[in-house]
Structure 1
Amino acid sequence: MMNDKISVIVPVYNVELYLNKCLQSIIGSTYSNLEIILINDGSPDNCDKLCKEWELKDNRIIYIKKENGGVCSARNLGLDKATGNYIAFVDADDYISPFMYERLYTLMIDNEADLVICGRTRILEDKIVNYKDTGIQIFSGKNVNMQNLSCQFDLNISVNKLYKKTLFKDLRFPLNMTYAEDLFIIPDILSKAHKIVYTSEGLYYYVERKNSASFTLNEKKLLNDICAKQKLLNYLISNHANCSIAFDWLFAAYTNLYNNSNSFRTKIKAWIFYAKFYRIHFKWSICHAKASIFLVLPSLYNWIKRNNILTL
């Protein structure tokens, strides 16, 4: 049952406090035919020593050290080196259930799927967040409905998935993006996947750290976010799929850009950017009160939202 090799790609950067737990969880997987590719992306901490120690412990581990180029370059190098029939990604500050890859592989084979997605268990500083059980669903990349997922964000990350390696033929992560790079390639993955299986089981443990890159936003990252969410919305519209969540994501990305602008001039630029979005997606925008309120008076929208006066 486990004849196929899974290449697990783990970018490593500034995670010496978390790396051991991450690798222990992968090595302890009940699916044993793994190729574990550690890509040290020029980490300045003690990760080099830790990676070398782990490489000696398990002959399934391949350790590669490179100059810093970002998580996309690290994942792309892992894809270039991978020899498995299937691909998986793990962030080095997260960890996985010992049953994750066995479960996803079984669903992949039993359903002749190209992509299998599982739910996440969020690990916050003071609590564990589990999501509702929505069971197993099967769909194609053209009719994916995020409303049916246990958590709508299960779609937009790369790490809670098992991919056929062929999905990455002629596809790599965008080197010019430092944020939302996972989401950016999702439409490309969906367009190639004839059958997708989703299970709401929270098999991937997603650790949220306030000092991680996901919580430190700047204008470039916010523009990356808009770019990725616009691409997803365009894909869903072109395939006549349910677009409501994707529209909400993109709207929120524009409001984040406006609210995180540091000067009046940059706020005006952000508002003009949003006004173009409103015009292009007029038939969607006009149906959402929040979109029109933000267009007319952003400060009023922010006040209503901050005080929870009505559901926007």
Structure 2
Amino acid sequence: MNNTLISVVVPCYNQAAYLDECLQSVLDQTHQNWECIIVNDGSTDHTEETAIKWTQKDNRFIYTYKKNGGLSSARNTGLKKASGGYIQFLDSDDTIHPEKFSKSLSGNKEYPLIVSQFTIYRNQTQYPGYNRVEQNYLSFEGILFGWDLKFSIPIHCALISKKLLEDFQFDTTLTSCEDWLMWIYITKNNPETLLIDESLAHYRKEDSNSMSSDLYKILHQRIKIFPMLKKLYGDHIHDRLMYHIIEVRSTQYIQQRNEFKKATGGKVVSGYLALKRYYYSLFQKKN
């Protein structure tokens, strides 16, 4: 069995109510060789008090405080401090199965990327994941062309070799879709990937009245990502993804636009139109 040190990165911002459960799921791991870096991103609740309690309970918990800079900034801080051969990102309101690490590393072969299925907790009730993770999703093209269109994968499903994350930083200008860029980055050379067909990651998704505003935000964030993809991977990848979304998913966007309009009184339509304008401006430059 692979006994590699695993660095767990737990960013925290005003979610102290869930932090005990999150950190207990790390302490309960049957694989013992881990460190857990708790990054307090300027919380104003009792996150610090809770985190320090855990460092006193077990010295494998490491606490650090930083000025509030957002989720990406907190993950970057944890990643810099990580010394393990594998990285496990774990948001402070989520949990992992006690055997996630041991089952991920139980084989004779070492994989740079290990991904499990997941379940969702909504209002204390467990549900299956919205989608099953399939092996063909876990490639550069699978992630690039399928993300948010066919599937999405919670970040804590993955156990990632630190080598795959060399020179990577989460983009702090993004407030959503930042994990998509991470998945694109770590799969860019199609590393050999192990898919564990068990739900070893548990994702908390509480009911919220802000769903429509989140959808509005996601549309605008996606617009910001396209130029980033162009810079990182060139015109070919950028244009293929753009055409894919236009040709394959245009009907879906129109349906969503109408639903968003009803839900938000028209606010989200501006996000849809901004996305549409971006596409059209690219067409005009090409023709």
How does the TM-score come out when normalised to structure 1?
A: 0.72
1:197 maps to which of 194, 197, 203: 194
SS at match of 2:35: strand
Q: 1:106 to 1:217 in 2, by over 3 A?
A: same
Q: Deviations over 1:108-146 (max 9, x none)?
A: x62x42211111101112632125997984787345379
Query: 1:289 corresponds to which residue?
Result: none
Query: 2:158 corresponds to which residue?
Result: 161
| Distance in 2, Cα, partners of 1:232 & 1:257 | 28
Q: Deviations over 1:65-86 (max 9, x none)?
A: 1111111111000110000011
| Distance in 2, Cα, partners of 1:89 & 1:212 | 27
| Distance in 2, Cα, partners of 1:37 & 1:219 | 32
Q: 1:24 to 1:231 in 2, by over 3 A?
A: same
Q: Deviations over 1:57-110 (max 9, x none)?
A: 011111001111111111000110000011011111111100111122235x62
Q: Deviations over 1:130-179 (max 9, x none)?
A: 25997984787345379999x95343x32210111011111110010111
Query: 1:206 corresponds to which residue?
Result: 203
Q: Is the 8 A contact 1:9 1:87 kept in 2?
A: yes
Query: 1:21 corresponds to which residue?
Result: 21
- Consecutive unaligned residues of structure 2, counting only runs of 5 or more, are none
Deviation at 1:258, TM superposition (A): 6.7
Query: 2:32 corresponds to which residue?
Result: 32
Q: Which segment is superposed worse, 73-82 or 137-146?
A: 137-146
Query: 1:77 corresponds to which residue?
Result: 77
Q: Which segment is superposed worse, 210-219 or 57-66?
A: 210-219
Q: 1:161 to 1:212 in 2, by over 3 A?
A: farther
Q: 1:139 to 1:251 in 2, by over 3 A?
A: closer
Query: 1:93 corresponds to which residue?
Result: 93
| Distance in 1, Cα, partners of 2:66 & 2:258 | 34
SS at match of 1:171: coil
Asked if 1:141 is matched to 2:139, the reply is yes
Q: Deviations over 1:205-238 (max 9, x none)?
A: 1011235987752755531144448978997x84
- Consecutive unaligned residues of structure 1, counting only runs of 5 or more, are 282-312
Deviation at 1:199, TM superposition (A): 2.6
| Distance in 1, Cα, partners of 2:224 & 2:197 | 28
For 2:177, the aligned partner's letter is: A
| Distance in 2, Cα, partners of 1:262 & 1:141 | 39
Identity of aligned residues (%): 28
How does the TM-score come out when normalised to structure 2?
A: 0.77
Aligned residues: 275
RCO higher in 1 or 2 (8 Å CA, sep ≥ 6)? 2
Query: 1:181 corresponds to which residue?
Result: 178
Q: 1:171 to 1:226 in 2, by over 3 A?
A: same
Query: 1:125 corresponds to which residue?
Result: 123
Q: Is the 8 A contact 2:140 2:184 kept in 1?
A: no
Q: Is the 8 A contact 1:136 1:200 kept in 2?
A: no
SS at match of 1:77: helix
Q: 1:193 to 1:172 in 2, by over 3 A?
A: farther
CA RMSD of aligned residues (A): 4.2
Q: 1:192 to 1:20 in 2, by over 3 A?
A: same
